Chain A
Amino acid sequence: MLENEEIEEPTIKPVKEIFQTFFKSYSAVTGLVILIGIAVMGFIGPLFYPTDPFDMVWMPFSPPGADGFLLGTDYLGRDILSQIINGARVSIAIGFSAALVSCFIGVGIGSFAGFYGGWVEETLMRITEFFQVLPTLLFAMVIVALFGSSVLSITLAIGAVSWASVARITRSEFLRIKELDFVLASRSSGSNNMALIFRVILPNAAAPIIVQSALLVGAAITFEAGLAFLGLSDPNVISWGQVIGSNRVYILDATYTVTFPGIAIFITVLAISLVGDGLNDALNPKLRSR
């Protein structure tokens, strides 16, 4: 009984400590609250503000506040407030799923490279280096231009070009951890390579990977907006980037059509990076003093 307690105590405490450090930081909590607020706005907001973002409801270019439209109307007379509420869903969804895709690729490549070493590492890191040199936006543009601009192809394109940083971080963590004693212990008790990679080393390498992935979500949202600004967005789905992209031509006449979705992206990405910083502090005790 006593022994059991002694073993269990340190395994529970770190998680609790992580939560405590995270929630002690004002900026991290603010970021989290904003992020939850935006997600709630995207998913429940349409129930309270039922105007369809594709409906032409009023004169084009009605300025903010006039005629009962809080954020004005765009070049087709569509309600911008409704576009921003509905766009939140898609922008956040694309951000998270693209980050998930790059996380999968990055962790896969990084862990195999770090674990096996030798020619496997050489080959995989060459590929990673290549993706670091490639101008990502251009490559994603080519993919989307060739394969059509659906939400799926945009998400996959963003995910496929932005995994290099995750792979590098995963590899360096693996290189460090695989030399540690507990890995040797696990190997000597009969774990095979797959178990070592995914059940022994990866959980211990998770902290920096999680932080990097959190930052990738924000980067993916701006990435999507950038593609949409260049005209590469799914025309059937409203996203913040798409609102900016479709009103781009009229920026000098109707500034607000571009300003408001820009502010929405700015606030969301800012919130994500605050959460990312908070996670970083909470998960890396060594960096806390910086």
Chain B
Amino acid sequence: MLFVLLVVVVLNFLMLHLAPGDIADTIAQTMGGADEQDMAELRQQYGLDQPFFIQLFNYVIRVALLDFGHSHFYNLPVFDLIMERFPATLLLVFSAQILSLFVGILLGVYAAQNPNGLSSLFVNMFSLFGYAAPVFWTGILLLIAFSLHIPIFPVSGMRDITIETDNFFVHFFDVLRHLFLPMITLASIFFAYYSRLCRASMLEVLGADFVRTAKAKGLSKKDVLLKHALKNSLSPVITFAGLSFSAVVSGAILVETVYSWPGLGTLAFNSIISRDTPVLLGILIFSTLMVTVGNLLTDLTLKALDPRIKI
């Protein structure tokens, strides 16, 4: 995990280095121009006159000390900026992931009981839709349908600032109401994949000997399905969910932009428009951290499901 983060940081630095343009030039430009002597001073001040590896080393140390640089657009340290937005993205990513797993597994189990029936066809069509529809487009369509034509859900944001009570539940439901559409949109890419995978692995497990034994013991259909078959067919689904964490984070950026959800995605979008590179690089490091933590949670879940797995 630390290795992955270190590589991201080094990669960040390399990209900054390889990108066309001189950082000192950019700084001089925002100051309104500088002569040769000022430029030399600038380079010294920012350590740009140092050898490549020393600059790299300094950069890694700074990031390790949580110093991601300074956003020249917001005029704030990048770390503070990211911490302010991070919880919103975390909420969106994890709720969408959990929802899509839940719905996906439910659909998969249902479809597996009748592999050539209508429900299986539905699951297949659904997964094609999830693969083919660009997520921001799905988002826009849902937005138009459920905020514009049938105004049940708010158009954008995460909170209604006109609410005046301090009641926790009022705020909780307010966030939930704002969360609903973005969560569904983001989950729409994935429940299709999960249901298809769950259907396939359920079909495999349902043909196994221990399921026949369970049936022969006289267990009810529900117990066979949920206690014996499902538990053994979950591990490919969970593994895939872990692998798709980075895709969920990528999707979250687009979804957040559609719904103006105040998370890292909208921050990334704004920092592209304002050419705020330090913020973009900071977000890259942070979301990689989020994905690695997600992967770790997946591994732990897998171990809990199947004690044979060792980490």
A134, A146, A252: which contacts B16 (Cβ < 8 A)?
A146
List B contacts of A218 (CB < 8 A): 131-132
B19, B250, B273, B284: the one within 8 Å of A231 (CB): B273
Bound Cα distance from A275 to B310, whole angstroms: 39
A255 at the interface (CB under 8 A from B): yes
Contacts of A226 in B (CB 8 A): 134-136, 250, 254
Which residues of the other chain, A, contact B254 by a CB distance below 8 angstroms? 137, 226, 229-230
Indicate whether A15 reaches chain B with its CB closer than 8 angstroms.
no
Q: Kindly state the separation between the CA atoms of A43 and B8 in the bound complex, as whole angstroms.
A: 40
Which A residues from 126 to 167 make CB contacts under 8 A with B?
Answer: 126, 129-130, 132-139, 141-143, 145-148
Most chain-B CB neighbours within 10 Å: which of A132, A142, A259, A270? A142
**Stretch touching chain B among A173-181, A195-203, A261-269:** A261-269
Report A-chain residues with C-beta under 8 Å of the C-beta of B253: 135, 137-138, 141, 230
- For the complex, give the distance between the alpha carbons of A28 and B226 in Å: 36
Select which of B19, B141, B269, B291 is within 8 A of A133 by beta carbon: B291
Q: Does A105 sit within 8 A of B, measured CB to CB?
A: no
Task: Give the complex CA separation of A228 and B196 in angstroms.
Answer: 30
B238 in contact (CB, < 8 A): no
Instruction: State A134–B243 Cα separation when bound (angstroms).
Output: 11
Question: In the complex, which residue of chain A has the Cβ closest to the Cβ of B7?
Answer: A130
Q: Which of B271-294 contact A (CB under 8 A)?
A: 272-273, 275, 277, 280-281, 283-284, 287-288, 291-292
Are B20 and A225 neighbours in the complex by a CB distance under 8 Å?
no
One digit per residue, 1 when the CB lies within 8 angstroms of any chain B CB and 0 when it does not, for chain A 229-271 equals 1111000000000001000000110010011001001110110
Interface assignment of A222: CB less than 8 Å from any CB of chain B: yes
Majority DSSP secondary structure for residues of B touching A: helix
Q: Assess whether A290 is interfacial by the CB under 8 Å rule.
A: yes
Contact B134 A266 (CB under 8 A): yes
Question: Is B15 a contact partner of A231 (Cβ separation < 8 A)?
Answer: no
A273 interface hit (Cβ, 8 Å): yes
Complex: A269 Cα to B135 Cα, angstroms: 13
CA distance A225 to B291 in the complex (A): 23
**Chain B residue with the shortest CB-CB distance to A245:** B136
Say whether B295 contacts A142, CB under 8 Å: no
Number of A residues contacting the other chain (C-beta, 8 Å)?
41
Cα A138 to Cα B251 with chains together (Å)? 10
In the complex the two chains form, is A134's CB within 8 Å of B257's CB?
A: no
Residue in A126, A262, A274 whose CB lies within 8 Å of B137: A262
Are the CB atoms of A138 and B273 closer together than 8 Å? no
Across the interface, A270 reaches (CB within 8 A) one of B132, B135, B148, B292, namely B132
Shortest Cβ distance from residue A261 to the other chain B in the assembled complex, whole angstroms: 9
CB pair B281–A142 under 8 Å, yes or no, is: yes
Measured as residues with beta carbon below 8 angstroms from the partner, the interface class of chain B is 35 or more
Closest to B203 in A: A290
Chief secondary structure at chain A's binding surface = helix
Least CB distance from B118 to A in Å reads 17
Contact partner, B247, options A136, A139, A225, A266, Cβ 8 Å: A136
Is the CB–CB distance between B288 and A145 below 8 Å? no
B128 interface contact, C-beta 8 A: yes
Q: What's the minimum C-beta distance from B154 to chain A, rounded to whole angstroms?
A: 13
Is B140 within 8 A of A258, CB to CB?
yes
Known pairs A126-B3, A134-B288; A230 contacts B269 (CB<8 A): yes
The answer to the question of B200 belonging to the interface, with a C-beta cut-off of 8 Å to chain A, is yes
Report chain A residues within 8 Å CB of B8: 134
The B1-32 residues at the A interface (CB cut-off 8 A) are 3-4, 7-8, 12, 15-16, 19-20
Residues of A within 8 A of B251 (CB): 137
In the complex, chain B residues whose CB is within 8 Å of the CB of A145? 272, 275, 277, 280
Pairs A–B under 8 Å by Cβ, sample size 19: A130-B7, A132-B243, A133-B246, A134-B288, A142-B12, A142-B15, A142-B281, A222-B134, A226-B134, A226-B136, A226-B250, A226-B254, A229-B134, A229-B257, A231-B272, A244-B137, A251-B140, A262-B137, A269-B132
Interface residues of B (CB under 8 A from A): 3-4, 7-8, 12, 15-16, 19-20, 128, 131-137, 140-141, 143-144, 148, 155, 200, 243, 245-247, 249-251, 253-254, 257, 268-269, 272-273, 275, 277, 280-281, 283-284, 287-288, 291-292, 295
Closest 5 CB pairs of A and B: A137-B250, A262-B137, A146-B19, A269-B132, A270-B132
Please list the residues of chain A having a beta carbon within 8 angstroms of any beta carbon in chain B: 126, 129-130, 132-139, 141-143, 145-148, 218, 222, 225-226, 229-232, 244, 251-252, 255, 258-259, 262, 265-267, 269-270, 273-274, 290
